[in-house]
C-alpha cells in the first residue's frame, strides 16, 4: 500500500479552515470540494491513458486520452458524497458508483447497506472517496468489496487519517495495489474513534447536523 500525504500550502490552508469549529456548513462544503479537486490531481497521476490521434487547426498529431474502461469513482455514503463534485470536476468522464457502509453493532464488522456499482469491475481503476480514515474499518471493507468485483487497482482519497487507520489498512490490503492520498496525517484516534486534532464528524459538518 502506498500512502501519499499532499504537501502543499494551499491544501494545508484549506484544511486549517475546515478544522475550525466555527466554519459553517456552506463554507465547509465548498472547501471540501476545492480540497478534493487538489487531492484528485495527485491521486490521478497514475490514471491509464492511451494514444489518440488529434487534428489541430494546423496539423494532425498524437495525444493522450484517458483509456477505456473509464475510471470508476466511488463515494462512501454519507460523508464521501461531499467529495464527489470536487472529484468529477477533474475527471468528468469517470463513471460514478455508490457504496454505503455501516458497522454491525453486534459483530463490530463493517457491512454494506447500499450498493450501486457495475457487477464486473475487471480491469477498472477505482477511486474511493471517504473524508476521514479513522479506524480504517469501513474503508478497508469498501476496498475489499471493489477487489472482490475484479478491480485492478484502488486509490482512496481522504482529507485526514489517523496512523492507527493507516496501519489497519496496510494489513487489510496486503498484496493488493492500493494507494491512499491524504490531505494530512493527524496524531491519533481518541477513545470514541475520532481523529485528533481532526475536524469532528465530517458528515455532520457537511450536512449541518451538529
Residues that are catalytic: 103, 107, 201, 204
Q: Decide whether 63 or 197 has the Cβ nearer to ligand URA.
A: 197
**Residue 43 contacts residue 128 (beta carbons within 8 Å):** no
Q: Is 78 annotated as a binding residue?
A: yes
Question: Residue 186 CB, nearest distance to ligand URA (Å)?
Answer: 9
Counting DSSP H helices and E strands in the chain, the numbers are 6, 13
The beta-carbon contacts of 45-52 under 8 Å, at least 24 apart in sequence, are 46/125, 46/153, 46/155, 46/179, 47/71, 47/91, 47/125, 48/125
Q: Is 82 annotated as a binding residue?
A: no
Question: Residue 161 CB, nearest distance to ligand URA (Å)?
Answer: 10
Q: Is 100 annotated as a binding residue?
A: no
Question: Residue 2 CB, nearest distance to ligand URA (Å)?
Answer: 22
**Residue 131 contacts residue 160 (beta carbons within 8 Å):** yes
Q: Is 137 annotated as a binding residue?
A: yes
Q: Decide whether 163 or 203 has the Cβ nearer to ligand URA.
A: 203
Backbone phi, psi, residue 170, to 5° = -55, -45
Residues of this chain that bind ligand URA (CB under 6 A): 79, 132, 134, 193-195, 198, 201-203
Q: Which amino acids are annotated as binding site for 5-phospho-alpha-D-ribose 1-diphosphate, given as ranges?
A: 78, 103, 130-138, 201
Q: Which amino acids are annotated as binding site for uracil, given as ranges?
A: 195, 200-202
Amino acid at each position: 500500500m502506498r500512502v501519499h500525504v499532499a504537501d502543499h500550502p494551499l491544501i494545508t490552508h484549506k484544511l486549517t479552515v475546515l478544522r475550525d469549529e466555527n466554519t459553517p456548513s456552506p463554507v465547509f462544503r465548498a472547501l471540501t470540494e476545492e480540497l478534493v479537486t487538489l487531492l484528485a490531481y495527485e491521486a490521478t497521476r497514475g490514471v491509464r491513458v492511451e494514444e489518440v490521434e488529434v487534428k489541430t487547426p494546423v496539423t494532425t498529431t498524437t495525444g493522450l486520452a484517458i483509456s477505456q474502461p473509464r475510471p470508476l469513482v466511488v463515494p462512501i455514503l454519507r460523508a464521501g458524497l461531499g467529495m464527489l463534485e470536487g472529484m468529477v470536476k477533474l475527471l468528468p468522464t469517470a463513471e460514478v458508483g455508490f457504496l454505503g457502509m455501516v458497522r454491525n453493532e453486534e459483530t463490530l464488522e463493517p457491512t454494506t447497506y447500499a450498493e450501486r456499482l457495475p457487477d464486473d469491475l475487471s480491469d477498472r481503476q477505482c477511486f474511493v472517496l471517504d473524508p476521514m480514515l479513522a479506524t480504517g474499518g469501513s474503508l478497508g471493507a469498501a476496498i475489499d468489496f471493489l477487489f472482490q468485483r475484479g478491480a485492478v487497482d484502488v486509490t482512496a482519497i481522504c482529507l485526514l487519517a489517523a496512523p492507527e487507520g493507516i496501519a489497519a489498512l496496510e494489513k487489510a490490503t496486503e498484496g493488493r495495489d492500493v494507494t491512499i492520498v491524504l490531505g494530512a496525517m493527524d496524531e491519533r484516534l481518541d477513545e470514541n474513534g475520532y481523529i485528533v486534532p481532526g475536524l469532528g464528524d465530517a458528515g455532520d459538518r457537511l450536512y449541518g447536523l451538529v
